[in-house]
Structure 1
Amino acid sequence: MSLRLTRRRFLQSTGTAGAASVLGGFFMPSISRAADRPVITHGVQSGDVTVNSARIWARADRPSRMIAEIATTEGFSKSIKVPYVDVLHEGDLAGKLALTDLPAGQDIFYKIHFENLDNVRAISEPIMGHFRTNPMKRRNIRFGWSGDTGGQGWGIDEDRGGMKTYATITAHQPDFFIHSGDTIYADGPFMAEQKMPDGQIWKNLTTEGTGKVAETLDEFRANYKYNMLDKNVREFNRMIPVYYQWDDHEVLNNWYPGEMLTNDDRYSEKSVSLLAARANRAFREMLPVREQPQEPGRVYRTISYGPSLEIFVLDMRSYRGPNDGNNGLVENDKTAFLGKQQIEWLKRALLNSKATWKVIAADMPIGMIVYDDWKNKSTFENLANGDGAPAGRELEIVDLLRFIKSARIRNTVWLTADVHYTAAHYYDPAKAQFTDFDPFWEFVSGPLHAGTFGPNDMDNTFGPQVKFAKYPSKEQGVNLPPSAGMQFFGLIDIDGESEQLRVSLRDVADTELYTVTLDPVYS
């Protein structure tokens, strides 16, 4: 009998109470049997997987040595131990290891444990995880995306099943997942109880550091740790590698560099740039993201996934100008959205890509209007600024879309979240104010676990046609709790032979709400 372990068999063999006991407990952090044994506090994670590398993550409850073992076979036959990392209080006891020289297109199983630095004979129980390295040859690909975790005060209500959308996604066994931003809500404290629209009480799990807006590094870290207390999130993290990007709530709502919180009494620290620096550090410490040596803290990057797919992860937050009237007619620092350096990087990366499908993972939609000042509708959070000719932040997108057309870059698809409902948009130059671009699709999905809102007004500058949207009715209102069932994610399947790309928009109950299949165009 072959010792190769498929993902389905791995899920079955580790999803039982017996297996969980033997292997240290997959669904709850391990309980130490001796006072000096470390405990893995928040499960394990993998991310930023490439054709031959990956990052894995875990956290201990005390200064410890993080030790990992990897294998491609059941029972860890011919396993390899990788170089360790010591976790200390200065890094909040979180550890991240870079795995290199891995075989392409291979299921990898890893096992992490910790050794107490005060007593190396005191060893934690291990936890096992899984990921698959990216392929070099064509094959069937399945991946998911969504965003918005823990928003509007809707935290972990264990009596209601916790963050259930994560369990729905895990059941599909995607090759990987793109978290489109708002990985935490650092500006949204979790209170013990929150009243629901129907008068029932939502009862949150509460923890130290998440009962107020995050200002200190420890408070930002606490928000990530909070989400990982959920059993569905931990099992998802254990089984599915993730590519993370960030948006605004990793810092605070609608933030931009240089902003000052002069009139926000919730914050004693008024400099948003300082808050963002702390938030960026927590993002990198608490998630399995790859460090960018050319620009420490950089979020935007590319992921090559074989001949059929390349992903371009954007950062629409860190390089933008202020949220103002967004109506400038000449590009300058105030109209920046991605910023000149990121735009030029994206152009080069798209031009150099040999992949059939170029998926642009954005943290905000292109054609949806999102106001910063909702009351007066005078300032804008997104690049869309109302119907008419391009202006303000839209000028960057004009430049990008014109370049994509002139360079004959085919098969671009945009994925995003942010607006807390799901939609499919087709951008049609025949119905746009700016017309010098090739038509393309944008798919919106979310929230994973947050309040549901919508719909947003659309801006006709780039001709978006709403092919589908799902959001609360007027009678339901806005900020529906997760228990209302309007939590959304998307799945994409790329056929290894035809390279057709099928998009499926789904809800927490796994109902398929909308689907479309796109045929590749070959130059």
Structure 2
Amino acid sequence: MAPTDTPPPTFDRRTFLRLSGVSSAALALGVAASDADAAATPGGPVPDGVFGLGIASGDPGPGSVVLWTRLAPEPLAADGHGGMPLRPVPVRWEVSPDERFRVVARRGTAIASPELAHAVHPLVEGLEPGREYFYRFRVGREVSPVGRTKTLPAAGASTSSFSFATASCQAWYHGHFSAYRHLANEELDAVFFLGDYIYEYGIGESNLWRAGASVAPEHGAEIETLEQFRLRYALFKTDPHLQALHATAPWMVTWDDHEVQNNYGADGSRYGISTEHFPHLRAVAYRAFYENLPLSLSTMPDGPDSTVFRRFDVGSLARFNVLDTRQFRDAPPVDREDQYDERRSMLGRQQERWLYEGMSGSPATWNVAANGVTVSAITEDRTDQWDGYPAARARLIEAMRTTSNPVVLTGDIHRHVASELKADFADPDSPTVGVELICTSVASGGDGAPTDGYTPDWVQHPYVKLYDGRRGYVHCRMTPDELTSRFRIVPWIEADADAPVRTTARFVTPAGAPGLEGQE
């Protein structure tokens, strides 16, 4: 039976867990099921076209990776169940070093349950480190497309290079995912998605800028329920270029605000939702986030709480710390004195300690924080960014000074920005501690333009080396000697998905010499 999704007028934490939790059996079987479990699952016909939302992989380790699919023969069915019968369905998977599957390295079964919107997250272990693999799923006689993934190098292993991209902010209704069409053809070991995978707003005539697109009336309401979140993920994931990119490389994903509500923080809504109701909204939003992305079981929410900050080591080359800048932050400042209060935190004390200890103790050449909102100082009135948490930013910068070659990866602002992180932003001549690479949006904001009304706020600072408001992504290649970042843009997205891609700026950051050296 599907869980109840509509909260009662009043409830406590135990009620949250009852309404928003998932049975331990469903969770476990969605990761790994035995032959006996599969045989014990009631049979019955399954509709054709169950792989309508594609396939994906994510959260890789040196010998492991998480696979994902969500069965949905009718992805846009209004009830959020994707056209699936409300019963469990066995899903078989295979992993091979060969795209034609002449040799199968690992195989297994997971049970797609209606409790998790028929999503499965099999954890594949026992793979070789630093190796390319291919995977596919089977349901009955139906076989999914083939996906490509890659494990991380062994702990401490010498690694000659690592290529990755950053992307964020994919408002489907604002335009086509042209950037993903190009990104799927790049050299990629991984993709870091930095927030705003979906948007919660109702979709209507005023914001549906994607030429040729239309939506059913149920998409017109702002999201409040689990079914609505499931449907919104399904809408965005019907894009063929997003599906292709998911099937090209493993993703490491974090959230920003629109996976729940614009500019939210912790249990606080900026739009009038009561403190009693908002944690329920967060609970169902976090639940849908897990259901629809290739995430490890450790990120599965417990009611309104989830742990999405986690760490990925790429041999001895790089350490990536994926952060959560929403769930634990203090409330927006009420005045300047509050804004500069030393006690204020963007990450919460537990996550701060975890990050700083991981940075100071890191053996890696490059140490990266994959983060939702801008760290660089821009203007004091941008309180949703780290500008609203200057004491927390100072602690972060100080922690960066204890590690080698710090890099911050950021999304959120729908602009490409390359910035040098200063020991003291009030003194542009102070030492450069690291670099921040901010990727523009994939679609949010429509076509965009090289400059806009916000340009002066950013380029007034000598440490900001690039500002470009067009759509695209950032492609990076790390070696033991340098980090090369290419800021890629497409000139339009609203009319169609056919726009070409080009590099608007390219920077080199030498190991041991933090900064951004512009290159033609």
**Residues 55-95 of structure 1 deviation map (CA, whole Å, 9 limit, x = unaligned):** 11112243421110111124212314533111122211111
Offset of 1:364 from its aligned partner? 0.5
User: What is the distance in 1 between the residues matched to 2:118 and 2:335?
Assistant: 43
User: What is the distance in 2 between the residues matched to 1:193 and 1:504?
Assistant: 34
SS in 1 for 2:264: coil
**Residues 267-312 of structure 1 deviation map (CA, whole Å, 9 limit, x = unaligned):** 7997322211111111111100113279852111111112211111
Partner of 1:490: 474
1:422 to 412, 416, 419: 416
Offset of 1:429 from its aligned partner? 3.7
Q: Does 1:214 align with 2:256?
A: no
SS in 2 for 1:167: helix
Offset of 1:370 from its aligned partner? 7.6
Q: How does 1:46-445 map to 2 (within 5 A)?
A: 46-61=57-72, 62=84, 63-115=88-140, 123-136=141-154, 137-150=158-171, 153-154=173-174, 162-186=176-200, 188-191=201-204, 194=207, 202-207=211-216, 209-260=218-269, 263=272, 271-292=277-298, 297-325=306-334, 327=336, 328=338, 329-332=340-343, 335-367=344-376, 369=378, 380-385=383-388, 393-405=389-401, 407=402, 409-429=403-423, 432-433=426-427, 438-445=432-439
User: What is the distance in 1 between the residues matched to 2:223 and 2:147?
Assistant: 30
Q: Is the 8 A contact 2:423 2:432 kept in 1?
A: yes
SS in 2 for 1:222: helix
Offset of 1:194 from its aligned partner? 4.7
Partner of 2:484: 502
Q: Could you say if the C-alpha distance between residues 321 and 238 of structure 1 is closer, same or farther in structure 2, counting changes exceeding 3 Å?
A: same
Q: Could you say if the C-alpha distance between residues 458 and 261 of structure 1 is closer, same or farther in structure 2, counting changes exceeding 3 Å?
A: closer
User: What is the distance in 2 between the residues matched to 1:520 and 1:114?
Assistant: 48
Partner of 1:482: none
TM-score, normalisation: structure 2: 0.76
User: What is the distance in 2 between the residues matched to 1:448 and 1:253?
Assistant: 18
Q: Is the 8 A contact 1:191 1:204 kept in 2?
A: no
Aligned length: 434
* Farther off after superposition, 293-302 or 251-260: 293-302
Q: Which amino acid aligns with 1:40?
A: F
Q: Could you say if the C-alpha distance between residues 240 and 195 of structure 1 is closer, same or farther in structure 2, counting changes exceeding 3 Å?
A: closer
Identical aligned pairs, as a percentage?
22
SS in 1 for 2:352: helix
Q: Could you say if the C-alpha distance between residues 355 and 295 of structure 1 is closer, same or farther in structure 2, counting changes exceeding 3 Å?
A: farther
User: What is the distance in 1 between the residues matched to 2:239 and 2:246?
Assistant: 11
Q: Could you say if the C-alpha distance between residues 144 and 257 of structure 1 is closer, same or farther in structure 2, counting changes exceeding 3 Å?
A: same
Q: Is the 8 A contact 2:268 2:275 kept in 1?
A: no
User: What is the distance in 2 between the residues matched to 1:203 and 1:193?
Assistant: 15
Partner of 2:502: 511
Q: Is the 8 A contact 1:111 1:127 kept in 2?
A: yes
Partner of 1:11: none
Offset of 1:212 from its aligned partner? 1.5
SS in 2 for 1:243: strand
Offset of 1:165 from its aligned partner? 0.9
**Residues 447-485 of structure 1 deviation map (CA, whole Å, 9 limit, x = unaligned):** 011114763665899x761111112xxxxxxxxxxxxxx
User: What is the distance in 1 between the residues matched to 2:384 and 2:361?
Assistant: 31
User: What is the distance in 1 between the residues matched to 2:105 and 2:217?
Assistant: 38
Offset of 1:126 from its aligned partner? 2.9
- Which segments of 5 or more consecutive residues in structure 1 lack a partner in the other structure? 1-33, 116-122, 156-161, 372-376, 386-392, 472-485
TM-score, normalisation: structure 1: 0.76
* Aligned-CA RMSD value: 3.0
Q: Could you say if the C-alpha distance between residues 193 and 262 of structure 1 is closer, same or farther in structure 2, counting changes exceeding 3 Å?
A: closer
User: What is the distance in 2 between the residues matched to 1:102 and 1:455?
Assistant: 47
* Farther off after superposition, 225-234 or 438-447: 438-447
Q: Could you say if the C-alpha distance between residues 262 and 140 of structure 1 is closer, same or farther in structure 2, counting changes exceeding 3 Å?
A: closer
Offset of 1:380 from its aligned partner? 2.4
Q: Which amino acid aligns with 1:39?
A: V
Q: Could you say if the C-alpha distance between residues 341 and 104 of structure 1 is closer, same or farther in structure 2, counting changes exceeding 3 Å?
A: same
